[in-house]
Amino acid sequence: MGEHGIWREQMTGVLVAPTPRRAVNLDNVGNLSVALKNAVAIPDAYVQPEGLRPDVPYDGYSEETDQIPVVDLHNSNTGTVEERQRIISDIGCACKEWGFLQVLNHGVPDRLMQRLTDLGTRFFQMPAAEKEKAAFGQVGYEGRHVYMPERVQWVETLALVTGPDPNLEDILRVTCADYREEFIATVNEYIQEIQRVGLVLLELMAESLALEKSFFSQHFEKNSTSVTRFNYYPPCPLPSVALGLFPHADPNCITILNQDDIGGLQIRKDGRWISVRPLKDTLVVNVGDSLQAWTNGHFKSVEHRAVLNSVKPRLSVVFFYSPYAQAAMAPPLKLVDECHPLLYRPFTWAEYFPRMQKKRMEGKVMREASNSPLLQIELVKELKVHVNVAMQQKYVDDRKYND
């Protein structure tokens, strides 16, 4: 297996070619952060257009920040019927109104979460040449953003396919020799825990829509599709003109985020950017585009971004969770009626992912201005249907024996 000229079979079974290099080769972001400390300028590729620049600082917490839903999962399995129903209701409201929530008492051991972030930080603090040994096209390490056609994000990433065919041993076998085995074991242990949390959340989400508890989760129990990505945002000397992550909505079903105590995550609601305050021992959860389509628009995919600061690095560990590749994501009949006409046609993750990935690599999911309408992944737009009575009735008839 070569370092850069490989073809990699991703979790969908689709072969993805290595991404072409940029015409102008940028220095590693980690190197730039050190070299440009206290500088008054950064490379043009990192300077965002006026409309895309952050208007709320990383620690710009507001009244809206305190309105972000926080759900305690402690009694989700062991509490009374009333306590469980309250949790189901709170999760449903959060997914419908915000597409976003933070969860407490999720059961992932604090020491495991800390060990994972410590090892992730250790990886990104290695010399650039050592980190770049783990660069394999669209997976593994990325610190130069060779895949972005124009504007660039100020972030280093380590992307690991964690299901159904994990590649973390392939990615890490060429680097971090001193702690490689501990890193692999810790990631594997964390994935087991976070998948458990994901299944619990999917069951609660289904119940909040008056669906069978296993409506979503049954498609995740075996051969689910997941990527775990470490995002490391080194200090940026000009955080007011750069971005850690561009505004976007996630393509998968749900995303579960483990972050440190340095702020930077922001979500957009009612046209306003809201800073998310890191809360100790919580996990951040957001609805993705494909779950929005699967619920016929009852749940809302949330637009979010990462902003920077000039003093402290920030680390987050993101778990992108989707069903097995051939799972048919079709809105259930209970969510399709006269008040909620059919919005999206049925699709599979195997169909959705490679087309979304192609659009993303072409730069078609990036925003030109922060005040533009929510830009969903291109395929979700294609999934939308122009509903008429005959089409809706056919859908209902076809689904009667499947739901």
Phi (first) and psi of residue 385, to 5 degrees? -120, 150
Cβ neighbours around 40 below 10 Å, total: 7
Are 186 and 262 in contact, with CB atoms under 8 Å apart? Answer: no
Helix (H) or strand (E) holding 227: strand 225-233
Q: How far apart (Å, rounded) are the C-alpha atoms in residues 217 and 206?
A: 9
Catalytic positions are 314
What are the contacts of 354-363 at 24+ separation with CB within 8 A? Answer: 354/10, 354/12, 354/14, 354/16, 355/379, 356/251, 357/16, 357/138, 361/19, 361/138, 361/147, 362/149, 363/148, 363/149, 363/150
* Count of all residues that appear for the chain in the document: 403
Phi (first) and psi of residue 230, to 5 degrees? -90, 125
Return the beta strands (E) in 17-131 as ranges: 70-72, 100-104
Q: How far apart (Å, rounded) are the C-alpha atoms in residues 158 and 169?
A: 13
Q: How far apart (Å, rounded) are the C-alpha atoms in residues 362 and 56?
A: 28
